């Protein structure tokens, strides 16, 4: 199926810098074609200094909505006329839609992150402990996701003490400020045995450095049997981290479903419909990744 571009074709897209590597156009255009809709989804490389003018241009052009990726997820906030509470709490927006002549921002990474945890493992998380490696943008969505699921404890582990403290401070106005604790990497030996969910939000092990892992074999050996190891990386699949964890008896979740589900949630907002072809989107991503 291909989308025919006509004079009535509506525009969706993703802004980032760089953004050429994004898999979102493949995934969203597959969904649009499957639904037979007259939309197209494009990637727009927007430099940070051009963000404001680009967003004004999008408004003038009548763009229906767009995704936001690095480095604009936080910088876009002042340019929006409305920010959904969850995106406000996290301090990052990945999905923007046009409403009443203004831009509305939300964060579907949170929905994406929790989807495989909810659908695959029907657990009561209220007595569970989450340990999160990394304190970048994705870790913010993971904190919100773990809070929504009701985790008893959320521990964020970072390698750089200064950045870790900045990360801590950046939440001071957030409703989620008290939902987590921060730790340096040296504290991992104490934290890993307590983890029911261990999430890698660092890029360590991502293609092409596929032999790397955020943890040593000795560190991961302390993961308890039946714990869940969740890597936000989707290529390679599985990562070295997930292989190590599986060898240890852990349940593995890779980053592909998060990518699919954040896209599904964004399409629901833009198209104002619940019926989204999730299998088509997943298949489109898997085909694209197998070409790499």
Determine the interface stretch with ligand NAP among 40-48, 59-67, 153-161, 222-230 (rule: CB under 6 A). 153-161
The correct pick among 14, 32, 55, 232 for binding ligand NAP (CB under 6 A) is: 232
The correct pick among 16, 25, 116, 137 for binding ligand NAP (CB under 6 A) is: 137
Q: Which of residues 11-40 bind ligand NAP (CB under 6 A)?
A: none
- Spell out, one character per residue from 249 to 288, where the chain touches ligand NAP: x when CB under 6 A holds, - when not: ------x--xx--x--------------------------
Q: Between residues 64 and 206, which has the closer beta carbon with respect to ligand NAP? A: 206
Nearest residue to 22 (alpha-carbon basis) of 41, 47, 3: 41
Taking the CA atoms of 130, 134, 137 and 138 in sequence, report the sign of the dihedral they define.
negative
Active site residue: 8, 73, 99, 190, which one? 73
Nearest residue to 206 (alpha-carbon basis) of 254, 151, 252, 249: 254
3-state secondary structure of 98: strand
Determine the Cα–Cα distance for residues 130 and 87; give it in Å rounded to an integer: 21
What are the φ/ψ torsions at residue 279 (nearest 5 degrees)? -65, -40
Q: Contact 240/252 with Cβ under 8 angstroms?
A: no
201 binds ligand NAP (CB under 6 A): yes
Alpha helix positions (H), 170-275: 188-191, 217-220, 240-247, 256-271
What angle (nearest 5°) sits at the alpha carbon of residue 89, between those of residues 87 and 95? 5
What are the φ/ψ torsions at residue 95 (nearest 5 degrees)? -140, 130
Give me the least distance between CB of 134 and ligand NAP, in Å please: 4
160 binds ligand NAP (CB under 6 A): yes
Compute how many other C-beta atoms are within 10 angstroms of the C-beta atom of residue 251. 16
128 is catalytic: no
What are the φ/ψ torsions at residue 259 (nearest 5 degrees)? -65, -45
134 binds ligand NAP (CB under 6 A): yes
64 binds ligand NAP (CB under 6 A): no
159 binds ligand NAP (CB under 6 A): yes
130 binds ligand NAP (CB under 6 A): no
180 binds ligand NAP (CB under 6 A): no
3-state secondary structure of 196: coil
Q: Between residues 82 and 222, which has the closer beta carbon with respect to ligand NAP? A: 222
Q: Between residues 37 and 75, which has the closer beta carbon with respect to ligand NAP? A: 75
Q: Between residues 227 and 260, which has the closer beta carbon with respect to ligand NAP? A: 260
- Strands lying side by side in the sheet with 10-16: 39-45, 10-16, 65-68, 95-99, 102-106, 82-83
238 binds ligand NAP (CB under 6 A): no
How many residues contact ligand NAP, by CB under 6 A? 25
136 binds ligand NAP (CB under 6 A): yes
202 binds ligand NAP (CB under 6 A): yes
Determine the interface stretch with ligand NAP among 11-19, 46-54, 134-142, 280-288 (rule: CB under 6 A). 134-142
Tokens in use for 211? 């032999």
Which positions lie near ligand NAP, rule CB under 6 A? 70, 109, 112, 134-139, 158-160, 163, 201-204, 206, 232-234, 255, 258-259, 262
The residues assigned a catalytic role are 73
């Amino acid at each position: 199926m291909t989308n025919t571009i006509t004079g009535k074709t509506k525009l969706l897209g993703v802004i980032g810098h760089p953004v050429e590597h994004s898999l979102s156009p493949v995934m969203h255009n597959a969904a649009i074609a499957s639904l037979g809709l007259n939309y197209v989804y494009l990637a727009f490389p927007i430099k940070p200094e051009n963000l404001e003018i680009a967003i004004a241009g999008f408004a003038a052009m009548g763009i229906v909505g767009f995704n936001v990726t690095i480095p604009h997820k936080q910088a876009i906030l002042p340019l929006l006329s409305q920010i959904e509470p969850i995106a406000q709490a996290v301090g990052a927006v990945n999905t923007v839609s046009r409403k009443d002549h203004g831009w509305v921002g939300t964060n579907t990474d949170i929905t994406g992150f929790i989807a495989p945890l909810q659908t695959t493992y029907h657990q009561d998380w209220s007595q569970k402990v989450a340990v999160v490696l990394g304190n970048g943008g994705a870790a913010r969505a993971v904190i919100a996701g773990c809070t929504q699921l009701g985790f008893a404890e959320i521990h964020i582990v970072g390698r750089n003490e200064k950045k870790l403290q900045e990360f801590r401070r950046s939440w001071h106005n957030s409703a989620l400020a008290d939902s987590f604790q921060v730790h340096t990497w040296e504290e991992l030996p104490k934290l890993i045995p307590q983890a029911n969910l261990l999430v890698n939000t660092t890029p360590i092990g991502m293609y092409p450095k596929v032999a790397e892992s955020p943890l040593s074999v000795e560190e991961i050996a302390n993961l308890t049997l039946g714990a869940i190891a969740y890597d936000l990386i989707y290529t390679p699949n599985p990562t070295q981290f997930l292989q190590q964890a599986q060898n240890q008896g852990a349940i593995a979740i890779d980053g592909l479903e998060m990518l699919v589900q954040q896209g599904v949630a964004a399409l629901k907002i833009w198209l104002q419909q619940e019926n989204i072809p999730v299998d088509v989107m997943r298949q489109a991503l898997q085909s694209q990744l197998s070409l790499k």
